[in-house]
C-alpha cells in the first residue's frame, strides 16, 4: 500500500480519502455523502456530460476568482462541484492535486493566491527542468505524463478564471 500525506487542506473536504504526494495518484472512496461515484460516468444519477451538470459546473466556478483565492475557498468550490455532481471522479482527483501542490509549497489555507499564475510558473519551471535533463526513455515518459497532468490542472484553472471574469460565457460550451 502506498503511504500517504494527509494535508491540513484535506480536512476541508468531506471524506477526502487519501491525498498523496504529487508523484502518486489521489484515491478517494467510491461512496461519498450518499452519492455513488461511478468513476466518470455519473454522480447521484446525473450524467456528467449533461447540460445540467455542465451548467452547475460553470455556475459554481463563476462564483470563485481563482486569480484571487485561498486554498480553503478553492476546497469549498471543489466540495460544491462534487455535491452538484458537476465533476467526474477523474477531474475531481486532478483538481484535488492542486491542494496537495499548494500544501507542498507551504501555502497557508487562508493565504490568497493567484492559482493561474502559480500553475503557469510551476509548468514553466517543470518544462525548463526537462530541457537539460538527460534521462532514460522510461523516465522521460513518466516526466512527460507528470507535465501533461500539470497542464490539465492549468487548463482547468484558466477555464475557471474565464468563467469568473466573463459571466456572459456561461452559455458557451467550453468543456470540450
For the chain, what is the largest distance between any 2 Cα atoms, rounded to a whole number of angstroms?
49
Q: Domain span at residue 87?
A: 8-171
The reply to whether 29 falls in a domain is yes
How far apart CA 171 and CA 72 sit, in angstroms, is 28
Distances (CA, A) of 22 to 81, 120, 140, 171: 22, 17, 17, 34
On whether residue 176 sits in a domain, the answer given is no
Reduce the DSSP state of residue 59 to 3 states and report it: helix
Task: Answer whether residue 100 is part of any domain.
Answer: yes
User: Quick check: is 119 in a domain?
Assistant: yes
Residues in a beta bridge with 46: 43
Q: Is the dihedral of CA 27, 30, 84, 49 positive or negative?
A: positive
Q: Which string of DSSP letters, residue by residue, matches 111-150?
A: --B-HHHHHHHHHHHHHHHHHT----HHHHHHHHHHHHHH
- Per-residue pLDDT, 37: 31
Is the model's pTM score more than 0.85?
Answer: no
Give the residue from 165, 26, 166 showing the smallest Cα distance to 94: 26
Tell me, yes or no, whether 66 lies in a domain: yes
The verdict on residue 1 lying in a domain is: no
Q: What is the pLDDT along the chain (176 residues), one digit of tens a residue?
A: 333 344 455 555 544 443 333 333 333 333 333 333 333 333 333 344 566 777 888 889 889 999 999 999 999 999 999 999 999 999 999 999 999 999 999 999 999 999 999 999 999 988 887 876 677 888 888 888 999 999 999 999 999 999 898 866 655 555 54
Query: Please, are residues 74 and 13 in contact by the beta-carbon 8 Å criterion?
Result: no
Q: Answer whether residue 3 is part of any domain.
A: no
CA distances from 56 to 53, 82, 121 (A): 5, 10, 29
**Does 2 map to a domain?**
no
Given this model, what pLDDT does residue 56 score?
Answer: 85
- For 33-45, b/e burial (b = at least 16 CB within 10 A) is eebebeeeebbee
Domain count, the chain: 1
Amino acid at each position: 500500500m502506498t503511504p500517504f500525506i494527509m494535508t491540513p487542506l484535506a480536512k476541508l473536504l468531506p471524506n477526502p480519502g487519501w491525498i498523496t504526494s504529487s508523484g502518486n495518484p489521489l484515491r478517494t472512496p467510491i461512496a461519498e455523502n450518499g452519492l455513488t461515484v461511478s468513476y466518470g460516468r455519473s454522480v447521484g444519477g446525473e450524467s456528467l456530460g449533461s447540460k445540467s451538470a455542465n451548467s452547475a459546473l460553470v455556475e459554481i466556478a463563476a462564483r470563485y476568482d481563482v486569480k484571487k483565492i485561498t486554498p480553503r475557498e478553492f476546497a469549498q468550490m471543489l466540495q460544491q462541484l462534487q455535491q452538484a455532481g458537476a465533476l467526474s471522479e477523474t477531474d475531481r482527483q486532478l483538481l484535488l492535486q492542486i491542494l496537495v501542490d499548494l500544501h507542498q509549497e507551504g501555502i497557508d489555507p487562508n493565504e490568497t493566491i493567484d492559482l493561474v499564475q502559480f500553475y503557469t510558473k510551476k509548468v514553466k519551471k517543470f518544462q525548463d527542468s526537462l530541457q537539460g535533463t538527460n534521462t532514460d526513455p522510461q523516465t522521460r515518459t513518466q516526466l512527460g505524463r507528470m507535465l501533461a497532468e500539470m497542464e490539465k490542472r492549468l487548463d482547468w484553472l484558466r477555464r475557471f478564471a474565464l468563467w469568473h471574469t466573463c459571466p456572459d460565457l456561461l452559455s458557451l460550451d467550453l468543456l470540450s
